[in-house]
Structures are given as structure tokens and as C-alpha cells.
């Protein structure tokens, strides 16, 4: 009996590349940039995003409200009346949750741990999934540079108005809150101070960009995308 062995051919799927426009501070086209599909072309996964989002929100929760149990309330050591013969219900302490001034049953506690463990791969995949969704909806803006010689709010506002003139970015200058997250390729004190008084935007380094930032802002402005995307792809 002749046996034939078939060689398994392993074919790696070639990573598709996409091209995006880079704008300057005046809202004009300043070139093109090639984006990889593994970072900006992932399909939408609502279940994954929902799970990671709630895990991150729960871990960031800082409980403040705190109630005392019957064992923590001062007093109540003496039995209010004898067990039987009074015609009244039995009670062993005036600090029972049934009494005014007593402890609270099942109340909020500030020592409760709300941390939720998130797998690193899941966290990175959810982040890139939302980033891909925003890119395909035209909500990711690439800007060549956002450098200021000195902190100037007027210049920062002018940049936003210039970018808002690009088709699809109109809400960038009209949305009063959570309009954009500006991701800088590296720390720039002048840029951060220039946008500090603009309530509709938040400025931080791209390495600190996370899933909640993507979901909490309409537009994501990525400065110096050639360097910034390296930091984004490093999350993989």
C-alpha cells in the first residue's frame, strides 16, 4: 500500500497597507503616510470593546462613600429590654440596622476592591479595534507638527479652526466638550500649555493614549504620525 505525504504549506497573510493624508497646522495637505492594516484596519468587535472598557472603568473606580456596620457603630452594648414578657419584639442591641442610629446593612464601603484583571492582548486588541473604527469613520487626523515658540492659546485655537475646515472635521471647532484628544509624539510643554485653556480638547503623549481616551473623544489628532504610529504599533 503506497502512502503519500502532503506537505503543509504555511502561507502568511500579507499585511495590507492604507494611505492617509497628513495635514499641517493651517489645514492644508502636507503629504501622505502609509498605515498598516494590523493597527488601523481591524474589524469591529463590540463584545471585546465592551468587556475591556468596563474592566478599565471598574479598575479606575475610587470608592468614597462609606457606611458603618452594626459592629462599628458606637454604643449598643446593653440589651434594650429583657428577652420575654414585655410584649415587644426581641432585640439584643440598639445598634441593629432596624434601629435609628444603628449600623447599615449592605451599605457602600470604601475598602471594596473594584479592580478587574485585563489580559494584555485583549487590551491592545480592543484599543486598536476602536482606533480602526475611528480611522474608517474619518475621526483620526494626522498633523505633521504642533510646535509653538511660546504658549499661545490663540495659536492653538487657530490650529483647531484650520483643521475644522477639512471636510468631515467640522465639529472639531464647534463641539463644546470632548471634541478631540491631541496625541503628541513626545512631551512638548509649549503645546500642552497652548491647549490648556481650550476646554474641548485634551493633550497628552501618544504613549499614554488608551481605550477610554478613544471612546471619550470624537476626534483623535495624532502629531508627527511617523514617530507616533511606532508607539501605537508597539502596543501589539
pLDDT in tens, 180-235: 999 999 999 999 999 999 999 999 999 999 999 999 999 999 999 999 999 998 88
For the chain, the domain total comes to 2
CATH of the domain at 24: 3.40.1370.10
Asked if residue 6 belongs to a domain, the reply is: no
Three-state DSSP string of 161-189:
HHHHCCCCCCHHHHCCCCCEEEEECCCCH
CA pair distance 88, 215, nearest whole angstrom: 58
**Residue 71 in contact with residue 103, Cβ under 8 Å?**
yes
pLDDT in tens, 50-70: 999 999 999 999 999 999 999
Residues 103 and 78 in one domain: yes
Residues 164 and 67 in one domain: no
Residues 74 and 160 in one domain: no
pLDDT in tens, 14-47: 445 689 999 999 999 999 999 989 899 999 999 9
Residues 40 and 156 in one domain: yes
Range of the domain at 76: 63-113
**Residue 143 in contact with residue 23, Cβ under 8 Å?**
yes
pLDDT at 11 over 70: no
pLDDT in tens, 148-193: 999 999 999 999 999 999 999 999 989 999 999 999 999 999 999 9
**Residue 39 in contact with residue 128, Cβ under 8 Å?**
yes
Asked if residue 82 belongs to a domain, the reply is: yes
pLDDT value of position 16? 58
* Arithmetic mean of pLDDT, 134-147: 95
CA pair distance 1, 112, nearest whole angstrom: 69
Residues 96 and 188 in one domain: no
pLDDT value of position 116? 94
pLDDT at 112 over 50: yes
Q: Which of 130, 97, 164, 155 is nearest to 232 (CA)?
A: 130
Asked if residue 5 belongs to a domain, the reply is: no
Amino acid at each position: 500500500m503506497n502512502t503519500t505525504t502532503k506537505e503543509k504549506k504555511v502561507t502568511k497573510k500579507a499585511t495590507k497597507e492604507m494611505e492617509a493624508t497628513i495635514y499641517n497646522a493651517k489645514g492644508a495637505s502636507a503629504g501622505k503616510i502609509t498605515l498598516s492594516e494590523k493597527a488601523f484596519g481591524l474589524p469591529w468587535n463590540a463584545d471585546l470593546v465592551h468587556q475591556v472598557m468596563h474592566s478599565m472603568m471598574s479598575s479606575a473606580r475610587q470608592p468614597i462613600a462609606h457606611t458603618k456596620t452594626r459592629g462599628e457603630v458606637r454604643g449598643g452594648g446593653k440589651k434594650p429590654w429583657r428577652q420575654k414578657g414585655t410584649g415587644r419584639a426581641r432585640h439584643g442591641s440598639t445598634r441593629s440596622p432596624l434601629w435609628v442610629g444603628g449600623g447599615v446593612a449592605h451599605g457602600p464601603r470604601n475598602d471594596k476592591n473594584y479592580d478587574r484583571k485585563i489580559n494584555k492582548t485583549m487590551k491592545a486588541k480592543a484599543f486598536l479595534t476602536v482606533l480602526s473604527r475611528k480611522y474608517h469613520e474619518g475621526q483620526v487626523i494626522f498633523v505633521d507638527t504642533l510646535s509653538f515658540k511660546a504658549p499661545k492659546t490663540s495659536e492653538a485655537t487657530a490650529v483647531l479652526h484650520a483643521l475644522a475646515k477639512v471636510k468631515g472635521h467640522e465639529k472639531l471647532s464647534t463641539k463644546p466638550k470632548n471634541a478631540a484628544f491631541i496625541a503628541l509624539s513626545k512631551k512638548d510643554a509649549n503645546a500642552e500649555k497652548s491647549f490648556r485653556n481650550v476646554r474641548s480638547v485634551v493633550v497628552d503623549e501618544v504613549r499614554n493614549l488608551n481605550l477610554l481616551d478613544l471612546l471619550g473623544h470624537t476626534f483623535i489628532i495624532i502629531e508627527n504620525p511617523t514617530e507616533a504610529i511606532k508607539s501605537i504599533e508597539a502596543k501589539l
